[in-house]
Structure 1
C-alpha cells in the first residue's frame, strides 16, 4: 500500500503523525510526506521520506498579520504587547505608520501564490505516484484535494485537543480553499462533509469536537531527534519542574510574550529543581539564572518529562499532549486562540491549570505551581489522563483498519467510534 501524508508548514503539526508513519513502514507499506521545502529537515529527521512539493506558507507572517488585524478591530487582548511588522518582526508603536491595506493585499497574494504552488505540486505527485490512501493534518487542504481528485480515501490526523467541528472560527477547524481549487478541479466545495474520518490521539477527557468517524489512537510522543542527558536518568533530589517556552510564541507576539524568565523568577523561591529546554537563540534572553535552574538544548521533551513533577509551558498542543502521556501536571500560560483552547480543555480535566498570558504574573505562576506540587489532586488527574492515553490503540493497531479503508473505502466496525463516542465529547 502507498500512503501519502500531507502536512502544513509547521513541524508541530507533523510530529504527532510520525509514529503512524513508522508503523505503516514497519508493516511493509510505502510512506511519502508531501511538505513545504522548509519542512524537509523536520520530516527527514524522523526517518520518513519528504517530497517538497507544497507551498511555503509562512505561518509566522500570517500570525503577525492576524494580530495586527485584531489590533485594528479593537479585539486585541494584550495591550501591553505591540503588534509586530509581518515581515521583519519589528515592534510597531501603532498602526498609524503601517499601511494595513497594502499588507492585506500582500497577505492574500502570498496565500494565493503558495496555495497554487501546493495544489499543482500535490496533484502532479498523486497522479504519478498514485497513493492508495492520504493522511493529512487538520490544515492541509492539499491532502483532501489530492485524495478527492484521485478518488482514494483520506483521513485527517489531529495534533491535539482542537477538532474539525469547532464553533470558534479562530481555531481554524478545517482546511481553507483560498483559491477555489476544489471547484476548479471539478470537486465539491471544501466543507465539513468532506472530512469523513479523523485519527484522534487525544485521551477521551481531552476529546475535541468532530462530526467525522473517529479513529482513536494512543498519543506516542515524538518531539524531534536528540540525546538523553545522563543526569535525567537519576531521581532528582527535589521536585523537578520543566519550563518550556516555544520560540514561535515570541516570534509571533513579540519579546514581551517570552515568559520563561518570569517563570524562572517565580520559581526561585520554591524548593524545586528547574530545567529549561531552550532554543539556542533564546538562551541569552533568560538572563542570570538562580542556582536551582539549569538549561538544556536539543533535549526532546518526551525524554525529560518522566523525571518531572510538573511542567510550565505556552499551551502548545504537542507539549500538552506529551505531558498528558507522561502523567505530569501542567501549567499552561497562553497567547492565541488555539493555545487558549488547549489550556482551557486541559484545566477542565483537572490535570493542569491555565492562566492567559496577560494574567501570568510572578505571583500567579508561583501560586499555580505550588498548587500543582502541593497536593494529590492534580497529580491524580494527570495520572488518569495518562491511563486513558495508555488504554488506546497504538499506531500499529491502525494499520489494519487503514488497509481495509484503502482497499474497500470502509472501516471495520471495531476500529472506529462515532463522533460523540468519547467521554467528555463536546
Structure 2
C-alpha cells in the first residue's frame, strides 16, 4: 500500500508523525513524506523518502499581512494564515503529487488542513495525526470560516476543519480534553519521542547520578533568551546539574556566564535524554510534555503561547508537575518550584502513572498493521 504523510514545516508537527511513518515503511508499505524543504534532511535521516510541499509559516503570515493585515486583528490574521493561505498552498502542491504517487491513504498532521482537502478532492481516505492535547483556540472561528471558503474554492463546499477523518490521538486519555474524547473516530496512538540521530554527550553518561539532573528548554518556536537565562540560573540555584537545549531561536552565547553545574547545547537528542532526567523545566510544547509523560518525568511548565497554556494546565491537573504563568515565573519562584518538585513523591508517582498509561497505548507498529483496514 502507498501512504502519503504530510506535515507543516515545524518541529512540533513533523516529528510526531515520524514514528508512524517509520513503522509503516517497516511494515512493507511504500511511504512518501511531504513537508517543507528544510525538513527534508530530517526525514531522510530517519530513512524516509521525502518531497517538498507547502510553505513556511512565516511566509504564510507575510502573505496575510501584506494583503489585508492592516484591517484585521491578531486572531483573524492567524485564522486566515492557518485556514486559507497554508491549506491553499498545500492542496495546490499535493494535487500533482497525488496524481503521480497515487497514494491509497493520506496521513496528515492536525495542522495540515490542505492535505486533508487534497485527499477529499482526489477521493483518497485521510487520517488526521494529532500532535498533542486538543484545546480550544481563540483563532478557531476565523480559521473555520477561512478554511470553509478555501475548500469551496477547490469544489468541496461545506467542508469544515473537522472533516470527519479518523483522528490518531497521541495524547493519553486521562489528560485529553473531555469534550474531544466524546467525538467519533478517535484512535489512540502511543506518542513516541523522536530526535534526529546524534550521540548523547559523554559527560551525561559519566556524571554523578547522586546529583539530580534537570533539563531546561523553551523549545523551537517561543524561546526567549531572557526567560531562558532566568530559568537556567533559577534551576542552578538548587544543588543539581542542569542541561540546557537552547533551540534555534537562542544562541548559547546569549545566556552569558553560567555556573559550572550547567551544560548548554544548541541541540540535544531529546528522545534519548529522558532516561537521564529527574525533572524538566520547559515551555509547555506538546512534544516535550508528552515525552516527559512517557518517561515518567515531573515537569515545571512556563507557557509562552499557543497550546502551551492548556498543556501547562493539563500537567498541573494531572498532579505530574507545576506551572508558573507570566510575571509569576521569576527567579525565586522557579527555584522554589524546582526544589519542591524534586522532593515531591506525589508528582513523581503521578508522572509514573502517565508513563504506564502511555506504555499501554497501541504502538506505531500496531497502527501500521491497521493502515490497510483504515484506508477502506
TM-score w.r.t. length of structure 2? 0.88
Give 1:8's aligned residue. Answer: 8
SS at match of 1:334: coil
The corresponding residue for 1:47 is 47
In structure 1, the partner of 2:213 is 240
Corresponding residue for 2:113? 141
1:289 Cα offset (Å): 0.5
Q: Could you say which residue in structure 2 is the equivalent of 1:415?
A: none
Kindly indicate whether residue 370 of structure 2 is the aligned counterpart of residue 370 of structure 1: no
What CA distance in whole angstroms lies between the structure 1 residues aligned with 2:18 and 2:210? Answer: 34
What is the CA distance between 1:401 and its match in structure 2?
Answer: 2.1
| Whole-angstrom distance in 2 between the partners of 1:276 and 1:266 | 13
Q: Deviations over 1:13-59 (max 9, x none)?
A: 11011110011000110111122223323332332222213233327
Match of 2:122 in 1: 150
Deviation at residue 193 of structure 1 after TM alignment: 4.9
SS at match of 1:155: strand
Deviations along 1:301-334, one digit per CA (max 9) or x if unpaired, are 1211211110101111111111111110000101
Alignment of 1:261-280 (within 5 A): 261-279=229-247
Q: Secondary structure at the match of 2:221?
A: helix
Cα distance in 1 for partners of 2:373, 2:147 equals 32
CA distance in structure 1 between the aligned counterparts of 2:115 and 2:291, rounded to whole angstroms: 26
Mapping 1:322-361, distance limit 5 Å: 322-361=291-330
Change (3 A) 1:220 1:174: farther
| Greater Cα shift, 230-239 or 53-62 | 53-62
Matches within 5 A, 1:1-400: 1-58=1-58, 61=61, 100-101=70-71, 115-161=87-133, 163=134, 166-170=135-139, 177-178=146-147, 180-191=149-160, 193-208=162-177, 209=180, 211-234=183-206, 236-250=209-223, 258-279=226-247, 281-400=250-369
113 and 390 in structure 1: CA distance in 2 versus 1, 3 angstrom threshold: closer
- Structure 1 stretches of at least 4 aligned residues deviating more than 6 Å after TM superposition: 102-111, 171-176
Q: Deviations over 1:182-223 (max 9, x none)?
A: 223322333255133110111222223252411111111003
The answer to whether the 8 A contact 1:5-1:33 is kept is yes
Supply the RMSD in Å over aligned alpha carbons: 3.0
Q: Does the 8 A contact of 1:171 with 1:337 survive in 2?
A: no
Q: CA deviation at 1:170?
A: 3.9
Structure 1: runs of 5 or more not aligned = 66-85, 87-98, 409-426
Map of 1:73 onto structure 2:
none
Distance, in Å, in 1 between the alignment partners of 2:286 and 2:141 is 14
CA contact (8 A) 1:33 1:50 kept: yes
| Mapped partners of 2:283, 2:354: distance in 1 | 19
Please tell me whether the aligned partners of residues 151 and 157 of structure 2 are also in contact (alpha carbons under 8 angstroms): yes
Task: Tell me the SS of whatever aligns to 2:167.
Answer: strand
SS at match of 1:180: helix
Aligned equivalent of 1:414: none
SS at the partner of 2:92?
helix
Is the partner of 2:251 in helix, strand or coil?
Answer: helix
How far has the Cα of 1:134 moved from its partner? Answer: 0.8
Q: For each residue in 1:142-180, what CA deviation from the matched residue of structure 2 results, as whole angstroms up to 9, or x when unmatched? A: 22112111212111111111x2xx444347998775483
Partners of 1:109 and 1:388 lie apart in 2 by 37
Give SS of 1:169's match: coil
- In the aligned structure 1, how far is the partner of 2:191 from the partner of 2:324? 25
Contact 2:6-2:107 at 8 Å conserved across structures: yes
